[in-house]
Amino acid sequence: MTPRPFTLGPALLFCPADRPDRFAKAADRADAVILDLEDGVDPAARAEARRAVRGTPLDPARTIVRVNPVGTEDHQRDLDALADTDYTVLMLPKADGRYVGPLLRHDGSPYAIVALCETAAGVLAAPALAARPDVVALAWGAEDLVASLGGTASRRDDGTYRDVARYARSAVLLAAGAAGKAAIDAVHLDLEDLDGVRDEAVDAVAVGFSATLCIHPSHAAVVRTAYAPTPEQVEHARAVLAAAAGPGSTGSGAARFDGQMIDAPLLRHAEAVLARAAEPVLDDR
């Protein structure tokens, strides 16, 4: 059985799995919560974190559980702890060619996997990961990527990504898009830099990311706003589609609007804007 397509987002908020007191608050502030059994938890507290995940359930339709990487003892312990829960979506960190899966639930059905490509091997394996039927989305991470290369910083002094991180971001986005899967943008680590969070989220939605990872509730609110089209964008998109359906259409898949020629790709851009705004798309052109 193939998992359903990934539709969570746009703001996906990490929550340490050993802090069940924060679970409900995180769920209230984001579109989906990522209960983190990996980097967000001290290794000595992971057994307690597993008990918390089992004992403080959230809505499985809006919850992802980040387990530990394939090949680690904690990975199997995580799967054992989750076996009889209702959670169906796992985030697999440091995913690469070693992941042969699928990872199965207690009833034998496969978990839906968000493959986190955050090492050099993972970025290069992104196309193969995206092609897997159990992988519903690709995400990427800059800090582990640079660490896997022996580097020390993913960003320049001005806060922008270094070239290798920008390449990885694009490579993961393209691999996901080519396979028809969702792509999820990386976290912004500077807790106080809400302008940076907004700018990166605006860029993410402009190039086709479906969601953005967040590490603080304030970031989730900014991401939600950035992914939502402005009234002006919605108005423009509706006008473009109306022009394509109206007398100005050439009948050849192109139309004239506001002094410019609009064709199929621009119409798809407009449809994407209305989809994000939950607006009906004109289908009579």
* The model's pTM: 0.86
For 200-229, what is the mean pLDDT? 95
For 137-147, what is the mean pLDDT? 97
285 is an annotated ligand-binding site residue: no
Q: pLDDT per residue over 1-28, tens digit each?
A: 778 899 999 999 999 999 999 999 999 9
66 is an annotated ligand-binding site residue: yes
162 is an annotated ligand-binding site residue: no
CB contact at 8 A, 37 and 46: yes
pLDDT at 138 over 60: yes
Q: pLDDT per residue over 65-112, tens digit each?
A: 999 999 999 999 999 999 989 999 999 999 999 888 799 988 889 999
pLDDT at 165 over 80: yes
pLDDT-derived band at 280, boundaries 50, 70, 90: very low
pLDDT at 139 over 80: yes
Q: Tokens representing 27?
A: 């769920």
Q: Alpha-carbon torsion 40, 44, 48, 53, what sign? A: positive
- 92 - beta bridge partners? 115
For 197-224, what is the mean pLDDT? 96
Q: What integer pLDDT is reported at residue 243 of this predicted model? A: 73
Contacts 24+ apart (CB under 8 A), 45-52: 45/18, 46/18, 46/74, 46/77, 47/77, 48/18, 49/16, 49/17, 49/18, 50/17, 50/77, 50/78, 50/81, 51/81, 52/17, 52/18, 52/19, 52/20, 52/23
Q: What integer pLDDT is reported at residue 241 of this predicted model? A: 76
Cα 256 to chain centroid, rounded: 35
Higher pLDDT, 161 or 265: 161
**Cα within 13 Å of Cα(238), Cβ side:** 13
Cα 238 to chain centroid, rounded: 27
Q: What integer pLDDT is reported at residue 117 of this predicted model? A: 98
Q: What integer pLDDT is reported at residue 253 of this predicted model? A: 57
CB contact at 8 A, 132 and 110: no
pLDDT at 284 over 60: no
CB contact at 8 A, 101 and 110: yes
Q: Strands 32-36 and 11-16, how do they pair?
A: parallel
Q: pLDDT per residue over 218-259, tens digit each?
A: 999 999 999 988 667 767 667 777 777 765 555 455 666 666
**Structural domains of the chain sorted by starting position, each given as residue range(s) with its CATH number in brackets:** 11-227 (3.20.20.60), 231-277 (no CATH)
Q: What integer pLDDT is reported at residue 157 of this predicted model? A: 94
pLDDT at 192 over 80: yes
Q: Rounded to whole angstroms, what are the CA distances from 161 to 107, 158, 222?
A: 43, 9, 20
